[in-house]
Every structure is written in structure tokens, then in C-alpha cells.
Amino acid sequence: MQKKIKDIGELGLIRKLSQAISTDKSVIKGIGDDAAVIKFTANKYLLFKTDMVVEGEHFTRKMPARLIGRKALARNISDIAAMGGIPTYAVISLGIPPLVKATFVMELFQGINEIAKKFHINIVGGDTSKASKTFISIALLGWVEKSKLVLRSTARKGDLIFVTGNLGASFKTGKHLNFTPRIKESRFLVGKYKPTAMIDISDGLVLDLHHILEASRCGAFIYEEFIPRAPKAGLHNALYDGEDYELLFTLPGTKAARLIRNLRKSRHKFPISCIGELVDKKCGLIFIDSKYRLSKLAPRGFTHF
Ligand SMILES: [Mg+2]
């Protein structure tokens, strides 16, 4: 019997597709990070990213159209933030069932426009098509100074693990619709500390940390008492709920100590927590609870299919 997509899973599908692709020397990093990294100028790389939201999967038509549009672009911006970069130009493709009201589409675009303006992104084109479900697919360009690029794959054993903001209440509070992508925070971090690895938390802390661990060939210890939980968020929500769109990053000892010292002096305008450290790959991802019990966390969180 032929395998179905649901048998392979989302990560398996991406792995299979990426094996079928080859890139030339202009591509610094292709599939496997938050955005592609491409040769650009002497001092800068281009960042290139696409992301799709689909009715019934990511949103329902009962949600405000403006926020759906906003989220569709904000998710892309969050991935540019995860690379340490600045977003610039976007093209937008829209699939629309014929009976959808025109005002819904106008409001959708209003939301896209609002967040584009806020981040100085130019919308420079797109495409529309009839479709059985509404979907929005956005491709976003950005750039980053070569010296500030942060990949998932360059963390090292001994680095400490940090996260911005707090986790776990995105769906309860509507943060998943109206979050502000962490561009400002990312630019601050790459300017002042230059993390060894970074990712935005879209699939959940555990799964996104696993993405860094796999790419960087490391294991990790994380501590329950240090995981910043949003008000009313349970531990399980903080570990596994996706769509917090905070930054998860790693720093080597001396830089980590400098950041922690500055946190204590409240020199930063946004919250950052140190949640654990990177260890040998063979340890896997170890969770230490408040009673010092250890458990191994499997790469689980949100995936499609
Ligand atoms: Mg991402």
C-alpha cells in the first residue's frame, strides 16, 4: 500500500522534499531553518521565507478577518526575527471561495497592511485564485548583516538556553492573533550578545528546542522552576502549546553571565529567562521538575498531518 502524507508526518515530508532538492553556492542555508539565507552584498545576506495560513487549520471565518491577515504576515516576520534580521518586501497569494464576502477580504488586507506598515514592509505583489477554502500565503524577504546572522545549527554544548516573554497562554489570551513579532528584541540580542542559535517558538517550547538540538547536535537540561509561564498557563501549556512567537536562543557562558547580570539590574525593557543549558547530544532533552525529578521529553508539539 502506498504511504499517505499523514503516515510520513510533517517533518518526514519536509525531510523527503529537501532530499530531492539541490542548491548552488549562492545559498548559505536552504531548508531547515526559520528562513533561507542567500548571498547578497559584501556585508549582508538576504533572508527569504514563505508561510501559509489555511481556513480550518489556522483560523476560522468567525475570527476577525483583520487579525487573520495580521497573523499571516506576523508569523513570517517572526521567522525573520529568529534569524536576527529585518523584514523588507512581501508578496501575498490569496485563495478565496467565491461566496466569501468582499468585506472579509478587504478587512484581511487591512490587517496585513497594518502590520506591514508597522515593520516598514513593502507589499509588492501577489496573486489571487478561486479556492475551496480561504488561504493566505505570504513570501517575505529580509536581510541581515553577515555578522549578525543566527542559525539553529550553531549552538554548542555548555551554552545556556534563554527565552523571551512568557509562554503557554497564547490561545487563551488571543496572543496567537495579535502578537508583536520580536524584531526589536532580536535586533537587540544580535547586536549586544550575538546568540549562538535562535528560533521563534511557533510549534511549542519542547518541539522548537528540539529543532535547535537536532540542528546543533546537542542535548539539553531545562528546569520547571525557570520556565516563564504566562498567568493561568499550566506547565503543559508552556511546554507544548505553540504560537507564543517568543524567541528561544542560546548563549555561551561569559555572554550568558553578562546578560544575566544586566537582567538583574533591569537594563532590558523586555523579560528574558534562562531556562536551562545545552549538554551532550546523547542526553536528549531532559526536564527537571520542581522536586528534582528527571524525565526525558520527546519531540512533541504542534505539527501538521
Ligand atoms: Mg520559525
Distance, C-alpha 282 to centroid of its chain: 25
* Distance from residue 163's CA to the centre of ligand 1 (Å): 14
Q: Ligand 1 centroid vs 171 CA: distance in angstroms?
A: 18
The CA distance from 194 to 249, in Å, is 10
Fill in the amino acid letter for 130. K
At 294, give phi and psi (nearest 5°). Answer: -100, 140
> What's the CA-to-centroid distance between 242 and ligand 1, angstroms?
11
Nearest to 203 by CA among 242, 160, 163, 253: 242
The values of phi and psi at residue 78, to 5°, are -60, -35
Closest to 164 in 3D by CA, of 123, 136, 201: 201
- Distance (Å) from CA 76 to ligand 1 centroid: 8
For the record, the C-alpha cell of 183 comes out as 524584531
- Which pLDDT belongs to residue 304? 58
- Please answer whether residues 277 and 159 qualify as being in contact, where contact means their C-beta atoms are separated by less than 8 angstroms: yes
3-state class (DSSP) for residue 37? strand
CB atoms under 10 Å from CB of 193, counted, come to 18
For the stretch 77-129, pLDDT in tens is 999 999 999 999 999 999 999 999 999 999 999 999 999 999 999 999 999 99
Spans of the chain below 50 pLDDT: none
Q: What is the 276 CA–ligand 1 centroid distance (Å)? A: 20
Q: Which three cell numbers stand for residue 44?
A: 549582508
How many Å apart are CA 45 and CA 149, to the nearest integer? 8
Please state, in angstroms and rounded to a whole number, the distance separating the CA atoms of residues 40 and 49.
15
Ligand 1 centroid to Cα of residue 246, in Å, is 10
Helices (H), the chain: 5-19, 65-82, 102-118, 170-173, 175-178, 183-192, 205-216, 235-240, 253-264
Count other C-beta atoms under 10 Å from residue 269's C-beta: 8
Question: What is the Cα–Cα distance from 234 to 122, expressed in whole angstroms?
Answer: 39
Q: In what order do the strands lie in the sheet with 197-200?
A: 197-200, 247-251, 160-164, 272-279, 219-223, 285-288, 294-296
- Tell how far the Cα of 21 is from the centroid of ligand 1, in angstroms: 21
**Cα-based angle 91, 58, 201 (whole degrees, multiple of 5):** 85
| DSSP strands (E only) in 83-172 | 86-96, 122-130, 135-145, 160-164
Angle at 154 between CA 186 and CA 302, to 5 degrees: 70
CA of 105 to the centre of ligand 1 (A): 26
Ligand 1: centre distance to CA 100 (Å): 30
Q: With contact defined as beta carbons under 8 Å apart, do 226 and 263 qualify?
A: no
The pLDDT of residue 10: 79
